[in-house]
Every structure is written in structure tokens, then in C-alpha cells.
Structure 1
Amino acid sequence: MNDYSMYLLIGLGCLAIGYFIGNYIQSLQTKATQSALLEREQQLNQNLRELNQRLLDSNKHRNLIQLEKERLGNQIIRYQADLEHLEKKIR
């Protein structure tokens, strides 16, 4: 074999090795990106679950406050009726 054939074979071998190394690095980068995106998705799902739970808790609290408001309103009406009744008795 002459020198040019040897250089050509070495060059082709280096190209093949470079191609495989490049593909390997690209696959590693893709896996790293995918894992980062999966982790981000999990964090967002966790945040969504927490926010939904907080929303449910807030709605429950609002309903309790609303019931308490209605109860106090009814109690005020009863007290006013009692007061009017007592005022009529006094006269």
C-alpha cells in the first residue's frame, strides 16, 4: 500500500470514530434534556396538586365563614324580634 492509501484509511477511520462519538454525545445531551424536562414536569405537577388543595381548603373555609355569617344574621334577627317584643311589653 502506498502512503496515500494509508492516509485515506486513517482519515476514514477517524471520520467513523468522530461520527460515533458525536452521536453518543448527542444522545447523552438528549437524555440530559429529557430528564431535566421530566423533573420540571414533576415539579409543576406537584405545584398544581398543592394549588388545587389550597383552592379546596379556601373554598371550605369560605363556606364555613358563609354559614357562620348566616347563623349570626339569624341570631341578630331573633334578638331584634325579642327586643321589639320586650319594647311592646314595656309600653
Structure 2
Amino acid sequence: MLTGGDAVRLDLQRVANHQPPAWPDSSAPRRLHLDFCVGNLTQIEQQVIGLGATLAPHQPGGNRFRVLVDPAGHPFCIATTAAAEVPRRAVEPPAL
């Protein structure tokens, strides 16, 4: 279980006979995809690779974010806070 204060809790569990999805192939259903905002993209990328993640061969984000795959085959992304804000700003209505 991961907790982040009073309002956030994320429970994880093992699944017997898990078959990881082949990202970015959408034919296998994804159960979960997490995006993490980080301060230093390169430093955290190296840290999570050191913990067992691998860099996904398909990187659609250029230098904005990295797609990694955990040891069980689940893709996840890391992005700087500034890069993560770009889509949010793009969909906000203009101020009146």
C-alpha cells in the first residue's frame, strides 16, 4: 500500500499468472497506468532503472517525459512537473 496524506491511498496486489501488456500495443487491456511528476527527469530515470525498470523502446514524449516498464511488464511514465502541466494548460478555458 502506498499512501500520500489523508486523501490518497493506492493498494497493490499480485495477480497469479499475470501476462503483461505489450506497450504500446492496445490489443491487451491495461489495468493501470501511473504517471509520476519528478524534479530531475534524468536522475529519477536512472534511479528507477537501477531498481529494475527498463526504458520502453517507444518514447512518444520526446524530452518531455519517459515511458518505463516495471519488472512485471507494466508501463509507467515519469515527467517533470513543468512537462506534466502542459496538457492541463492546453485544455483549460481562457480566462474571461
TM-score (norm 2): 0.19
Which is strand-richer, 1 or 2? 2
Higher share in helix? 1
If the length of structure 1 is used for normalisation, what is the TM-score?
0.20
Whose relative contact order is higher, 1 or 2, with alpha carbons under 8 Å and at least 6 apart?
2
Bigger CA radius of gyration: 1
